Amino acid sequence: MKIIILSHPLFFGSKSMPRFASYLSEGMQKLGHSVEVVRPKPYLSKLPLKGAAKKWIGYVDQYVIFSLFLFFKTRFTSKKNLYVLSDQALGLWAPIISNKAHVVHCHDFLAFKSAKGEISANPVGATGKLYQKMIYNGFSKAENFISVSKNTMLELEDLLPKKPQISTYVYNGLNSLFEVGSQITARENLTKFLNASMANGYFLHVGGNQFYKNRIGLIKIYNCWRDISTLKIPLVLIGSAPDERTQKEYANSKYKNDIIFSSGLSDDMVKQAYQGASVFVFPSLAEGFGWPIAEAMACGCPVVTTNSAPMNEVGGEAAIYIENVDKFDNLDSWAKSASNIIESFLSKGEEELQNAKQKGVENALRYDSTKTIAEINDIYTKVYNLKHGQHENS
């Protein structure tokens, strides 16, 4: 089977979605398929522009020039290919391939729900609302979907104007890099890297400044926990440098000397950060899947996360759960409640802590990449056969 994967351009600097396209490509090639990853090239984006002008000229490359290229590539070929839209956010291309064998991967609808005014914490301007409407109008023309979680699948089906031909979900596959390792060695290496002692353990968070990652809430939890705990371990936040709001929350913390932000870590160092952490705290308001939950568990790190889908879907019975913010009148009372749950967990005996780690390792096996790629391949093959016939899938 010839598979053409449509991916995000590289000139916008996105890493996670091109990485997902590579994950699909490599997995399908290992199963013997011929795979081509196609993405917009930076024609006008090479111009020496900055700011909003740079972004909009990038959209011309992505949605005008590339759309014309894709139209002619698909319109005048008799080859029986399978076209894969690696992210529903690229939905403007969906109508071009809707009459071909196709699959759309869906990650999350946070941007679309924000544009509709359903997420007050993330207001969207007029152009953003128009952009999300265009994306929706595009991917809603497709017929076959694979979502990254059951929660995302259900949200998709609520959004679509009609029942799709295929709608299912397959969890993301974990990078085999993430595995259990020596906690002592990991802490020693992170101590050297951060130039701060991690010998007694630390709180860990991995993520960016997106509103739903709830970094501000995380710092509030840490503040409340330090107020009640005899432990004095630091909080390490790996990901983007803090934005203005996060920086302000950090500056106001009386424990700011023990709060460490770190950006640009290698995948290996992120793995060691998971391996050495006392607890991974992931108080997200929402996610599409929640990669870091599975990554932390695979590395033997206990996970505390919010008891909402899909976080509780990914964490299963292995995570320690706190309620989501919307269950409380304010962020401070929520943070106090969460800190009490974390303190109760960390106060458990060594045997109970080890059992929690082992449950996490076993739960992470659900996201074995070989298994998830095989599930995706079964769906790809079904879609191809529905369009081209039972004996033309090689």
269 contacts: CB under 8 Å, gap ≥ 6: 189, 190, 193
Strands (E), the chain: 2-6, 34-38, 81-85, 101-106, 144-147, 166-169, 203-206, 235-238, 259-262, 279-282, 303-306, 320-322
Cα 271–272–278 angle (5° rounding)? 105
- Both tokens assigned to 114: 């924000």
- Both tokens assigned to 345: 């967990």
| Contact predicate 147/287, CB 8 Å | no
pTM here is 0.89
Alpha-carbon Rg of the chain, whole angstroms? 22
Residue-level pLDDT at 390: 61
Q: How far apart are CA 56 and CA 3, in angstroms?
A: 30
Bond prior to 310 in cis (omega within 30° of 0): yes
Residue-level pLDDT at 78: 76
Q: Return the C-alpha torsion angle 17, 22, 27, 33, nearest 10.
A: 120
Residue-level pLDDT at 394: 43
Which residue, among 105, 108, 103, has the nearest Cα to 382 in the 3D structure?
Answer: 103
Question: Along the 394 residues of the chain, how does pLDDT read in single tens digits?
Answer: 999 999 999 988 777 888 899 999 999 999 999 999 999 999 998 888 888 888 889 999 999 999 999 999 998 877 899 999 999 999 999 999 999 999 999 999 999 999 999 998 899 999 999 999 999 999 999 999 999 999 999 999 999 999 999 999 999 998 888 999 999 999 999 999 999 999 999 999 999 999 999 999 999 999 999 999 999 999 999 999 999 999 999 999 999 999 999 998 999 999 999 999 999 999 999 998 999 999 999 999 999 999 999 999 999 999 999 999 888 888 999 999 999 999 999 999 999 999 999 999 999 999 999 999 999 999 999 999 999 876 544 4
